[in-house]
Amino acid sequence: MKVTVTEVTKSFGGTPVLIGCSLVVEEGQLVAVLGPSGCGKTTLLRIVAGFERADAGAVTIGDRVVTGLPPEKRGVGIVPQEAALFPHLTVARNVGFGLPRGSRDRVAECLELVGLAGFGERMPHELSGGQQQRVALARALAPKPGVVLLDEPFNALDRSLRVSVRDDVRAALKRAGATAVLVTHDQEEALSMADTVAVMREGRIVQKGTPASVYAAPHDLGVATFIGEAVVLQAHAAGGIASCALGDLPHHANGADGPGHVALRPEQFELSERDTGVNGRVERVEFFGHDAAVTVRLDSGTTIRARTRGDMPYRPGKRIGVTVQGKILFYPV
């Protein structure tokens, strides 16, 4: 069901935590609320769930205003940070916990949705952390809620497991046709899972959009550096050209003449062995297999960190030239 959060405001002890937050989650969509620790994202989720009351504003699920309703009347499914399964109940009984008797088919259906068909008779301690988290999702989906709320659901998992479990969780949510809100501070998680990302900072939603659009056109320098890596350089813009340590770069901020900053993604730098006019020396190479990060100290004294293919032959000390590809983001001060 469609979820609409309208102008929600909340303070704790006089300190504002949410300031006029509005968010629309279309039916069947997965929206990630992404922000640093303490920005208010869990509070927003708790207000949608009904665990916390907003000071002002409204929450609508489907065509029902649920603002004053307790959690159990809202038709929300919740996947918490840690699976929190009942340890003495089988997987099937955990999933069927809130369902009427005789819901065995629905339990089996939900276990299949999360890729755990046949696991019903196991006990929680017989599952891996990732499997437990998928059972928690099956339990949240079982009563066919209008919306599924996921509160940093992969925090307890180690990194390699997190990537595969989040793929499984996204696939299960899509198979179930669920409308979902995911709260996370992990930008890679938000970008890879969500249909829409809502970036939150200090109680405000500062930008909403598809992962690709938020990455490509961050609303401000804060979003640019929070979403992915960025090299930020002082610049001066005039007539569509931003002049900075990397030379004169055409930018896309209309009519923004004057001092400011350019923000460049590490993959925008092209390194070569020729003199490009912007030259420097390789300081460090971090090899990741599929790619590498090359830190270059330019002759101007500025340091940049570029992403290149993993098989590039650059070594610390090597002289190289730098060019910049793609769209240049300029932010006036």
What are the residues binding ligand ATP (CB under 6 A)? Answer: 12, 17, 35, 37-43, 185
Question: By Cβ distance, which residue is nearest to ligand ATP?
Answer: 42
The DSSP result for 64-108, as a single string, is EE-TTS-GGGTTEEEE-SS----TTS-HHHHHTTTSPTT-HHHHH
Report, in Å, the least distance between residue 59 CB and ligand ATP: 15
Longest dimension (CA), the chain: 75
151: left (phi over 0), alpha (psi -120 to 50) or beta: beta
Q: Count H helices and E strands in the chain, helices first.
A: 8, 20
Helix (H) or strand (E) holding 283: strand 279-287
- Please say which residue, 16 or 321, places its beta carbon nearer to ligand ATP: 16
Report, in Å, the least distance between residue 66 CB and ligand ATP: 19
Report, in Å, the least distance between residue 38 CB and ligand ATP: 4
Q: Give the separation between CA 309 and CA 244, rounded to whole angstroms.
A: 26
Report, in Å, the least distance between residue 39 CB and ligand ATP: 4
Structure tokens belonging to residue 9: 């405001």
- Please say which residue, 36 or 316, places its beta carbon nearer to ligand ATP: 36
Dihedral sign from CA coordinates of 206, 210, 215, 217: negative
| The CA-based dihedral angle spanning residues 50, 52, 54, 55, taken in that order and rounded to the nearest 10 degrees | 140
First to last CA, the chain: 41
- Please say which residue, 38 or 250, places its beta carbon nearer to ligand ATP: 38
Beta bridge partner(s), residue 331: 261
Report, in Å, the least distance between residue 299 CB and ligand ATP: 42
Report, in Å, the least distance between residue 47 CB and ligand ATP: 9
- Please say which residue, 45 or 328, places its beta carbon nearer to ligand ATP: 45
- Please say which residue, 21 or 262, places its beta carbon nearer to ligand ATP: 21
- Please say which residue, 43 or 94, places its beta carbon nearer to ligand ATP: 43
- Please say which residue, 42 or 179, places its beta carbon nearer to ligand ATP: 42
Report, in Å, the least distance between residue 51 CB and ligand ATP: 10
